[in-house]
Structure 1
Amino acid sequence: MDQLSLSIDAYTQQGLRRSINQDCIGIGSWRGGAGGGTELSLNYLCEQKSELFLLSDGIGGHDDGEIASRFSVDSIFELFQSQEDFDILTAISITHDKLVNIGLGSLRPLGATLVGLIFTKNLVTIFSLGDSACYHLNGDKLVNLTEDVKSSKPHFNVIEQCLGGGITKPNPSIVKRKFKIGDVFILTSDGVSNWADKEQIKMTIQSKQLSFSRKLCSIAKKSGSNDDLSAVVIKIKSL
């Protein structure tokens, strides 16, 4: 990877009506949310051939969401760091099988949504399972790159794509995009994306905020979100 320089900030907080934060952010060795910190801000010069960023959200109504999300992030990062030719589809499949085995026999098996980015040269791979989101801001254009996959059945708001959670095999949405200096990628849990619209997200990123991710979570909270709130903002500074 040719001298990719990134400005990164991340923030997560427990929801107003939550007993524990079930979101988990993974950036290198740092973990935010489930069993981790609250906020991260740094300028980062990528030296590896690729870089990985993850956000996972424990599924409501299932056992130990904070364990599921943290396990998912740790498992995928472990595979990313140990494999020469990392493949996200394989990593998702392995992590899913492990979660299934942990929750075997439970009526509410461990499950977690996932959204993430892999930067390689001037290409980024975006992958997602469930209703966490990834946005790409290019100039004045903000695009949601992820599909919000919920059940079409009458029992509203049921997540059909996830890690674990009782499903047979996850089928992630995968998108590849080129990027350039000045572009911004934003990861959010559904506690933010369901309550902050695209115009609010764009205006926040284009403002002179000191912490974009914290501001996005604050907007969602003021809009009425009681869910756990997490956001990661990644700005491309140089290639």
Structure 2
Amino acid sequence: MKVSRKSPGERSSWGMSDVGRKRKTNEDALFVDDELGLYIVADGMGGHAAGEIASREATATIYSMIKQAVHEFGELKSPLTEARMRAACQLMESAIQAATSIIYSMAELDRQKAGMGTTISALLLSGEYGIIGHVGDSRIYHVNGEKFEQLTEDHSLIAWQLKQGLISEEEAMVSPYRNVITRAVGNRDHVEVDTVVFPVERHSRFLLCSDGLHGYLRSGDIVPTVGIGGESAVRQFVDLANQRGGKDNITVILVELN
């Protein structure tokens, strides 16, 4: 599946989702809406096509809730008060919690789908700020000029072991537990959501991706590939992951601020 959209306004985005070279089905989902300023990557999990259902339902629910609330919420502009920041985080968290409840309820009604869930990495661009909601090990990167920063923290066993100093980066690369995540949307009736509000600079670019891409990325890949820009950059990221193994579904969104 491929999605490619371009807006003539202040934001432009391109997205692509690829099954990869080893999987038979694609359980990833993506969502892009330049007018709303909302971008989502979801990496589903679970048998009997449950992962595909979870990722699709999660993105649809988050979009629906944010679309309903964003017009009343308004845009975030400087100076940003503590109350407005809390409200922004609450908006994103509530949308993701709603997705959690829906997916969990669906699994309760169909025991074959018990335990299904999905990662969520969602970015809402609002006025002079960005709002992130994050669960799992998909990622959001910010690229500005020759520098990039990972804006999300992986909720995975490997990330926890690295943070605790229990394993080295080299050991993490070959660990059999690389795909074990510690948080997911929908496999329980509630989930802890990471949220952050941050100022957005003009001409910034954002890369959202599932672990089917970032599991193959090297630090030197991000800036030059993003620098290609547009659909060509997205295609190159997908090609890179497939060339290096393509063991998982690959989903990428590139957002450019004009």
Specify the TM-score bucket, using the shorter chain as the normaliser.
0.7 to 0.9
**3-state SS of 1:19 partner:** coil
Q: Residues 8 and 208 of structure 1: is their aligned pair in 2 closer, same or farther, counting only changes over 3 Å?
A: closer
How large is the Cα RMSD of the aligned pairs? 2.4
Give the distance between the partners of 2:197 and 2:229, measured in 1 at CA: 29
Structure 2 partner of 1:217? 238
Structure 1 partner of 2:104? 100
Give the distance between the partners of 1:4 and 1:143, measured in 2 at CA: 25
Give the distance between the partners of 2:48 and 2:197, measured in 1 at CA: 31
Does 2:14 correspond to 1:9?
yes
Give the distance between the partners of 1:58 and 1:170, measured in 2 at CA: 15
Match for residue 52 of structure 1 among 27, 38, 53: 38
Structure 2 partner of 1:34? none
Match for residue 23 of structure 2 among 18, 25, 28: 18
Give the distance between the partners of 1:97 and 1:129, measured in 2 at CA: 14
Structure 2 partner of 1:134? 140
Deviation at 1:51, TM superposition (A): 2.0
Match for residue 91 of structure 1 among 69, 91, 95: 95
Structure holding more strand per residue: 1
Deviation at 1:58, TM superposition (A): 0.4
Q: Is the 8 A contact 1:118 1:124 kept in 2?
A: yes
Deviation at 1:209, TM superposition (A): 6.7
Q: Is the 8 A contact 1:62 1:110 kept in 2?
A: no
Residue type at the aligned position of 1:176: V
| Deviation string, structure 1 residues 167-206 (Cα, Å, up to 9, x no partner) | 3521122222212222100100100011112310111012
Q: Residues 60 and 102 of structure 1: is their aligned pair in 2 closer, same or farther, counting only changes over 3 Å?
A: closer
Structure 1 partner of 2:182? 160
Give the fraction of aligned pairs with identical amino acids, expressed as a percent: 25
Structure 2 partner of 1:121? 127
Computing the radius of gyration from Cα coordinates, the structure with the larger value is 2
| Deviation string, structure 1 residues 200-235 (Cα, Å, up to 9, x no partner) | 011101236752111111111111231101100001
Unaligned ranges ≥5, structure 2: 1-7, 74-87, 162-174
Match for residue 118 of structure 2 among 112, 115, 134: 112
Deviation at 1:82, TM superposition (A): 2.0
Q: Is the 8 A contact 1:63 1:109 kept in 2?
A: no
Does 2:98 correspond to 1:77?
no
Q: Is the 8 A contact 1:24 1:66 kept in 2?
A: yes
Structure 2 partner of 1:35? none
Structure 2 partner of 1:66? 52
Residue type at the aligned position of 1:129: V
Q: Residues 171 and 140 of structure 1: is their aligned pair in 2 closer, same or farther, counting only changes over 3 Å?
A: same
Tell me the TM-score normalized by structure 1.
0.82
Tell me the TM-score normalized by structure 2.
0.76
Q: Is the 8 A contact 2:93 2:195 kept in 1?
A: no
Q: How many residues align?
A: 215
Q: Residues 118 and 208 of structure 1: is their aligned pair in 2 closer, same or farther, counting only changes over 3 Å?
A: closer
Give the distance between the partners of 1:170 and 1:4, measured in 2 at CA: 35
Deviation at 1:99, TM superposition (A): 0.8
**3-state SS of 1:118 partner:** strand
